[in-house]
Amino acid sequence: MTVRGQRTMEVALTLAAPVVLLMAWELISRSGRVNQIFWPPPSSLWDTAVSMVRDDDLIGDIQVSLTRIVGGFLLGAIPGILLGLAMGLSWPVRVFMMPIATAIYAIPKIALLPLVIIALGTGETAKWTIVAISIFFLVALNTMSGVLSLDPMYRDVARNLEATRLQVFLGVALPGSLPAIFTGLRLALGFSLIVIVGTEFLSPRQGIGALIWESYQILAIKKMYVGLIVTAILGWLLILALDLIERLVVPWNRPA
Amino acid sequence: MSVAVAQPAAGRTSTLSPAPDGAAVTVSGVSRVFASPTGPLVAVDDISLDVDHGEFLVIVGPSGCGKTTLLRMIAGLDQPTSGAIDLSAPNAGSTRNAMVFQGRSVFPWRTVEQNVGYGLKLAGLSRTSRQETTRSLLSLVGMSKFARSYPHQLSEGMRQRVAVARALAVDPQLLLMDEPFGALDEQTRFILQEELLRIWERTRKTVMLVTHSIDEALTLADRVAVMTAHPGSIKAIIPVPFGRPREQATVRSDPQFAALFTLIWDLLRDEVQKARFEAGEEPQ
């Protein structure tokens, strides 16, 4: 298969899964065996979405959620990367932080929401914070494993060429861990979306999660579906954006 | 007496008329003991060795005989448990050594050009002043066309050329090479050995190269140091009589080559057996 042929095949396969899923959904919905109020055909959702943009504030909800995701993501990921690098490079830091990191890592983060609300209220700060907490240790642990799995030879090369500790940190540990850091960030982005939708369920005022939950409660099922689809597309676009950033920052990490 | 050398390195001059302080490298009574679960492990046992300025010394020995440990101590990456290592600097200022490591040591996140210029960047040289050295070294190792490539786009042999250029870029007094061609296929290895001979003719660096290949040792060395296994010490030092500049083909077809090969192999055979026996008892 030519490179071009392979590429076409890739695009076709990528599109095939959602198309097949939507078609199956459409057929089942129209077959009359399910209640269309709860299982509306996807083709009917387009009009709902258009009216939601026009009459409700769908775009506003998306913006609110997106701001919370990106804000909380940066708030958690940047310190997470720094802690991870420190844990990877210094064993006392690693041994000291490991019990906390692994214990908190295992808590479903949404369970911390009451605590965050007690401490910070229900405003935007609290939303950013719950996202940041959710991903902080995830990013830190991935970064740490990136540093630890880096071939010690690279550090020897740098030391042999008389690199200072800072130069080893910036020129070897950081760039060498970038692939692992991005693996962590990709997971963290998914978590951010999960946590923010959950948070908006529990503290519904604005955002995609609030939209889904409120639509469900007033049985505006079509709106609920639009909310779900928007969430899925949002998640996909965010990952796509992160991939693009990775390609720019880590141009060297390609299979040979 | 003048040698066409690009850099003001320790030239052949010092070998012809030795500096008062003598050798470029003086290893005296060096031992290195590692802690291990089964008790202290003597990796290097009481090695004494002098390397002259501009000399090409090759160390051969069985796997795991402490060759790499010795080289790492000379590079300053490890400290002897006892004994002393002195690196003299005939030119005031630089005492630095540069090591070409075994295996994949080229930074995957830097382009070929950036890898070669790395040591100069650490030394604080500006991009423009790095560029000149980088370019001439890339042309020396035949990698000019690949300056902007990343290591994953290169073959293993090309990556090793980059590693050699990176070490030469800092104009070291002493070039340390730890099985630099060990991971290469035989034909690529021959090519790189010839290139190393050519580069050495031009720069006349003091070189210490570790290998397990007797062929490689005889092709490259002025003297071959044969090491024992467990603990590693120097069993014999064999002068290699072939003239310079050297050609691989001439060396290999020289009748003395076979005699020297046999001599070194006789010295090594027992050690290799011993190393294998011990490896069976305590796998590494």
Q: Which residues pair with B50 in a beta bridge?
A: B26
Contact B118 A162 (CB under 8 A): no
Work out the average pLDDT over B136-159. 92
**Residues A197, A202, A206, A211: is their CA dihedral positive or negative?**
positive
Candidates B71, B74, B109, B150, partner chain A, best to mutate (most A CBs within 10 A):
B109
Q: How far is CA B10 from CA A127, A160, B94, in A?
A: 65, 20, 11
Q: Is A29 inside any structural domain?
A: no
Q: What is the pTM of this model?
A: 0.80
Which residue is closest to A252 within chain B, CA to CA? Answer: B109
Residues A162, A191 contacting (CB under 8 angstroms) = no
Helix (H) or strand (E) holding A220: none
From chain A, which residues contact B within 8 Å (Cβ)? 151, 153-154, 156-163, 167, 171-172, 175-176, 178, 250-256
The whole-angstrom distance between A74's CA and the closest CA on chain B is 24
Which residue is closest to A154 within chain B, CA to CA? Answer: B105
Contact B122 A151 (CB under 8 A): no
Cβ contacts of B105 on chain A, cutoff 8 Å? 153-154, 156-157
Report which of A99, A105, A72 is spatially closest to residue A87, judged by C-alpha positions. A99
Q: How far is CA B29 from CA A67, B51, B73, B229, in A?
A: 66, 15, 13, 17
The ipTM is: 0.83
Work out the average pLDDT over A110-127. 91
Q: Is A19 inside any structural domain?
A: no
Domains in chain B with CATH codes: 13-96+172-281 (3.40.50.300), 104-171 (no CATH)
Q: Provide, rounded to the nearest whole percent, the portion of chain B with pLDDT above 90.
A: 45
Half-sphere exposure of B123 (CA within 13 A, CB side): 16
Domain range enclosing A160: 45-249
B119–A contact, CB cutoff 8 A: yes
Contact A156 B119 (CB under 8 A): no
Q: What is the pLDDT of residues B90-134, one digit of tens each?
A: 554 555 889 999 888 999 999 999 999 999 999 888 888 899 889
Q: What is the pLDDT of residues A133-192, one digit of tens each?
A: 999 999 999 999 999 999 999 999 999 998 998 999 899 999 999 999 999 999 999 999
The whole-angstrom distance between B249's CA and the closest CA on chain A is 33
Q: What is the pLDDT of residues B246-276, one digit of tens each?
A: 888 888 899 999 999 999 999 888 887 777 7
CATH number for the domain including A168? 1.10.3720.10
Q: How many domains does chain A have?
A: 1
pLDDT at A145: 94
Phi, psi angle pair for B184, to nearest 5°: -95, 155
